Amino acid sequence: MRIFISADMEGICGVVNLQHVDPGTKDYERFRKMMTREVNAFVEAAFEFGATEVVVNDSHANMDNILIEELHPKATLISGSPKPLSMMQGIDETFDAVFFVGYHARTGTVDAIMDHTFAGRVFCVKVNGKPLSEAGLNARVAGFFSVPVVLVSGDDKTIACAKEEINEFVPVVVKEAVGRYAAKVYPFEVVKERIKNGVKQALMNLKNLKPTVEKEPVHLEITFINSSLAELPCLIPGVERKDAKTIVYTASNYLEAYKVFRACLAINAGLK
């Protein structure tokens, strides 16, 4: 049984502010160790309950946060950026299940820890008219390859968002959001037990958890925080301006839509 883990950082237990997740800030080194520790707990549980291979894709910021020297020795790590499929780099039809670890809620979610959607310059992403978080967007990549997302971890608001956006999964709440930069957190031993129980439930119930497959054709809509960010993406063939801040694109399938979304973000790199 092959497991794919996409690991973000804002939803890791104990993480509550930008000092914890931004490389170069005073607390980042401490919290990347905590991220590695939490990922290890998921890897360990996955092998305990039947996994034969686990691939971890580092999915936060520059995507080189997880410490390879401290990673579980049976796991394979995909590290660094840019990656064509970003947070889902490495996924294909040979995997049996996906875990989203350390995820966060979509932009605009009330009282969620550091809510955003991929980049701080994006206000809203809709697929076929439905606003999606990173969990929703990435789950559809897995669904394109017929692989189910069976587990999502993060704060309670993250879980609520994911339940609106993807098919049934096992939730693992590692902290309870109080505000954008505050949360009720738990000792790691409590979190580790929740992780073990969540992984066990997900893998024991795997046959009943279905991929999230988006209906085709796929209509993509991206609203940026200001009008200048909607300009350059219109250089991409097929991308059109809906209004000052919003661009749209119609793709033949979801993977195409996701790649165009990634290109729209990349073409704006460095702009504000």
8 is in an annotated binding site: yes
Helix pair angle (188-204, 28-48), 10° resolution: 40
Query: What is the C-alpha separation between 95 and 101, in angstroms, rounded?
Result: 17
Answer whether residue 271 shows pLDDT above 90.
Answer: no
pTM of the full structure: 0.97
- Radius of gyration in angstroms for the set of CA atoms belonging to the chain, rounded to a whole number: 18
* Residues of the chain above pLDDT 70, percent: 99
Q: Which residues are catalytic?
A: 116
Given a cut of 70, is residue 272 above it in pLDDT? no
Q: pLDDT tens, 56-102?
A: 999 999 999 999 999 999 999 999 999 999 999 999 999 999 999 99
Ranges of each domain in the chain:
2-118+133-208, 218-268
Average of per-residue pLDDT values in the chain: 97
pLDDT score for 269: 85
60 assigned ligand-binding residue: yes
Q: Is 104 annotated as a binding residue?
A: yes
pLDDT at 225: 95
pLDDT digits (tens, 9 = 90+) for 244-259: 999 999 999 999 999 9
Residue 16, pLDDT > 90, answer yes
Give 152-196 as a DSSP string.
EEEEHHHHHHHHHHSS--EEEEEEEEEETTEEEE--HHHHHHHHH
- pLDDT tens, residue by residue, 198-240: 999 999 999 999 999 999 999 999 999 999 999 999 999 999 9
Q: Which of 87, 77, 176, 93 has the alpha carbon at shortest distance from 132? A: 87
Q: State yes or no: 219 annotated in a binding site.
A: no
CATH number for the segment(s) 2-118+133-208: 3.40.50.10780
- At 176-187, the pLDDT tens digits run 999 999 999 999
103 CB-side CA count, 13 A: 36
When pLDDT is averaged across residues 160-184 and rounded to a whole number, the result is 98
- Report d(CA 61, CA 269) in Å as an integer: 13
The mean pLDDT of 163-178, rounded to a whole number, is 98
Please check the confidence at residue 139 and state whether its pLDDT lies above 80: yes
**CA–CA dist 246, 233 (Å, integer):** 10
